Amino acid sequence: MPQPAIGAVRAELPGSIETMSGELNRLHGHLCGRDLLAAVLGQGGSLRGRIALVSSFGAESVVLLHMVASVDPDIPVIFLDTLAHFPATLAYRDQLVKLLGLRDVRSATPNLRMLGRIDPRADLHSRDPDVCCHFRKTEPLDEALSGFDAWITGRKRFQGGARQVLPLFEPERNSGRIKINPLAEWSAEDLEAYRASYDLPAHPLVAEGFRSIGCAPCTRPVAEGEDPRAGRWSGSSKSECGIHVSHGGGI
């Protein structure tokens, strides 16, 4: 029997984002990866235009982008263009958009007037990285996701921290949206096996020791045996850019 899509569950459980997320985990919790994406995107187009993928086009992004493109290449893909990315990331984004046939890639950029006021010397990342991430990532994402009921992330439990308890469907209490984490259960080995099996190009900085890739000023390569995310905001207690904290769930 076909299982209800997010829209159907929303209609049955209005105003209860926690209950709706729990029901989706009950219905689809046995799935992951492309199978989970097919379950929520392939329901007669009921979510078309109401769900987006947010991608950094970073070290592990190609796997999820390939899965989404194989299910629905028209899904909106939101790229947070912080204006501080490595040139290699921007080139990789353009390469993957063409290779995968993604038809609706949108750049979410910070407010230039506000950015000029609060970061005129482009050194806010070293003075207050949380505020920098707020203006370069969180606020642009809020605007870009306006009108969507759900969004897809590429987070995984093996990345550690609060992500170790990541559910497949996660309530976003502040916005009333649902976050979908189809790769939550995947390991680094699973990702690499998938990438190799489809001969997908790796981010060029991976070969230089970058295991997790964000903005250029706040990202360094990691040594052998280091946590993959140790190169993000190195030397500080910061471990998340903020979009997965401010957008509910505390993750």
Residue 241 is a catalytic residue: yes
The predicted structure's pLDDT at residue 121: 94
What pLDDT sits at residue 2? 46
From the list 132, 133, 215, 241, the catalytic residue is: 241
Query: SS3 for 62?
Result: helix
At residue 251, the pLDDT reads 31
What pLDDT sits at residue 54?
96
* Nearest Cα to Cα of residue 137 among 242, 212, 213: 242
Q: From the CA atom positions of the chain, what is the Rg in Å? A: 18
Query: What pLDDT does 5 receive?
Result: 52
Encode the chain (251 residues) as per-residue pLDDT tens digits: 444 555 555 544 444 788 888 888 988 889 999 999 988 886 554 455 689 999 999 999 999 999 999 999 999 999 999 999 999 999 999 999 999 999 999 999 999 999 999 999 999 988 998 999 999 999 999 999 998 999 999 998 887 666 777 899 999 888 889 999 999 999 989 999 999 999 999 999 999 999 889 999 999 999 888 887 788 877 776 666 556 554 444 33
Per-residue model confidence (pLDDT) at position 175:
85
pLDDT at 245: 52
Pick the CATH number of 6-246 from 3.40.50.300, 2.40.50.100, 3.40.50.620, 1.10.12.10: 3.40.50.620
CA distances from 77 to 6, 29, 69, 71, 141 (A): 19, 24, 10, 13, 12
Helix (H) or strand (E) holding 190: helix 188-197
CB 51 within 8 A of CB 148: yes
**Under 8 Å between Cβ of 174 and 146:** no
Q: Would you state the pLDDT for residue 244?
A: 52
Global pTM reads 0.86
Contact 244, 251 (CB under 8 A): yes
CA angle 190, 222, 215 (to 5 degrees): 90
Is there a contact between 180 and 154 (Cβ–Cβ < 8 Å)?
A: no
The closest of 41, 44, 109, 43 to 76, measured between CA atoms, is: 41
